[in-house]
Amino acid sequence: MAFGDIIIREARESVLSALIAMFAANPLGGHGDTTDPKAYPDYISAFATIAASPNQTLYVAEWNGEVVGTFQTMITTSLNGRGSSAMIIEAVQTRADLRGQGIGARMIEFAIAEAKSRGVRLVQLTSNAVRKDAHRFYERLGFKPSHIGFKMALK
């Protein structure tokens, strides 16, 4: 398959079902994503929060009119680093049946180009510790493992 004509754009609410299905089909991560219609209001609320933020963007990758991938970016500014900004890339997901076709690389390259255009000093992301294939993928794209992350579930 040729994926040269992938379109990456800001997500619209109309693609939420496709995004939810992608996340729900992911057996790793333990995020509790589901296609149960009772959960849909949670996704609508999250989408509205992201869409309203000037520092967050949810993207989709489309090929032949189908959603084949997604990722989210967040820009943060901190005092350390002399007040520099960083882009955090989160929720990177390529449709399971299309992994290994270059879609993920196109999405990450798009995010990096966006970060450069915004004058961001650093691009960072986290990846589940069990996702060894994803770690190799990110390293091939130039990312270096540099920190250990910690999480605390509150709900």
The model's confidence at residue 4, banded by pLDDT at 50, 70 and 90, is low
So what's the pLDDT on residue 32? 82
So what's the pLDDT on residue 2? 45
Whether 2 is in a domain gets the answer no
Q: How many domains does the chain have?
A: 1
Instruction: Specify which residues 66 forms β-bridges with.
Output: 63
Domain encompassing residue 91: 7-140
Helices and strands, counts by H and E, the chain: 5, 5
Whether 153 is in a domain gets the answer no
Average pLDDT, the chain: 91
The model's confidence at residue 1, banded by pLDDT at 50, 70 and 90, is very low
User: How crowded is residue 149: how many other Cβ atoms within 10 Å of its Cβ?
Assistant: 7
* Strand order through the sheet with 7-10: 7-10, 56-63, 66-77, 85-94, 122-125
**Mean pLDDT of the 12-18 span:** 95
Q: What's the half-sphere exposure (Cβ side, CA atoms, 13 Å) at 42?
A: 9
User: How crowded is residue 147: how many other Cβ atoms within 10 Å of its Cβ?
Assistant: 8
Whether 91 is in a domain gets the answer yes
Whether 151 is in a domain gets the answer no
Domain at 86, CATH number: 3.40.630.30
Kindly give the pairing relationship between strand 85-94 and strand 122-125: parallel
Whether 146 is in a domain gets the answer no
Terminal Cα distance for the chain, rounded = 42
Whether 154 is in a domain gets the answer no
The pTM of the full predicted model, rounded to 2 decimals, is: 0.91
pLDDT in tens, 117-143: 999 999 999 988 888 888 999 999 999
Whether 38 is in a domain gets the answer yes
Helix 132-140 and helix 103-117: axis angle, to 10°? 50
Is pLDDT of 43 > 90?
yes
Is pLDDT of 101 > 70?
yes
pLDDT in tens, 71-95: 999 999 999 888 899 999 999 999 9
Whether 152 is in a domain gets the answer no
How far is Cα 89 from Cα 21, in angstroms, rounded to an integer? 20
Residue 134: both structure tokens together: 């994803």
Q: What is the identity of the amino acid at 11?
A: A
